[in-house]
Structure 1
């Protein structure tokens, strides 16, 4: 199932996350480490919003959603800032402090997301 969205630079990262979570051992590790349901709501350059629901409480899955379901934490940010966050060029705390990242819900669960990206990153560790 594709989680990509036209016009969103974050699509490859979200697909990478979906591919990683398709591996049972990685999904189990992610669920064990986070224990939360997370919604990313991104706004792209043309002003379109799109949300993704990341279940790291039960299933260890991610899906594209039109309306965010009940969740533990929701992250709201620009598509470009999400890409920087996902590839390690931006720090979540700095984005939050500068008002570029809005968090609704459990703040502590939000901090565990960077760990998930690192554990699911297929790039070689140098």
Structure 2
């Protein structure tokens, strides 16, 4: 899944790892995670150089991660910096704190955005 990696973005490496973790789920685990999360996340990430890249985490139908905008439309779009996503994924940054301090912005179903944290933790435990 190296097609998820983007030059200059640590998020791409994390997404590749997350995708690998999801691919290691058994069908039962994947269906349970899809049922629990039930949403499509679109992450618009900006790196230190100001470049932007987009990833989609589909935890509604397929249980997969792709590069690029969500198709169909995302339930929640999250805008954040590369560093903020790294902090969220390694657990050094709390998602709600990031949102309250403006490090993370969300459009759409904001309550769904809170489920991303649980998904990251579940995948991290799998790796």
SS in 2 for 1:121: helix
SS in 2 for 1:59: coil
Return the alpha-carbon distance in structure 1 between the equivalents of residues 61 and 104 of structure 2.
26
Tell me whether 29-38 or 83-92 shows the greater mean CA deviation: 29-38
Q: How far apart are 1:24 and its partner, in Å?
A: 4.2
Which of 85, 88, 92 in structure 1 is aligned with 2:88? Answer: 85
- Residues 34, 57 of structure 1: 8 Å contact kept: yes
> In the TM superposition, what are the counterparts of 1:10-49 in structure 2 within 5 Å?
10-25=11-26, 26-49=29-52
Instruction: Please name the residue that 2:112 is paired with.
Output: 109
Q: How far apart are 1:30 and its partner, in Å?
A: 2.2
Return the alpha-carbon distance in structure 1 between the equivalents of residues 19 and 50 of structure 2.
25
Return the alpha-carbon distance in structure 2 between the equivalents of residues 6 and 28 of structure 1.
32
Task: State how many pairs are aligned.
Answer: 123
SS in 1 for 2:83: helix
| Structure 2 residues without counterparts, runs of 5 or longer | none
Instruction: Please name the residue that 1:57 is paired with.
Output: 60
- Deviant stretches of 4+, over 3 Å: none
- For normalisation by structure 2, the TM-score amounts to 0.89
Alignment root-mean-square deviation, CA: 1.6
Which of 71, 89, 94 in structure 1 is aligned with 2:97? Answer: 94
Q: Higher helix fraction: Structure 1 or Structure 2?
A: 2
SS in 1 for 2:77: strand
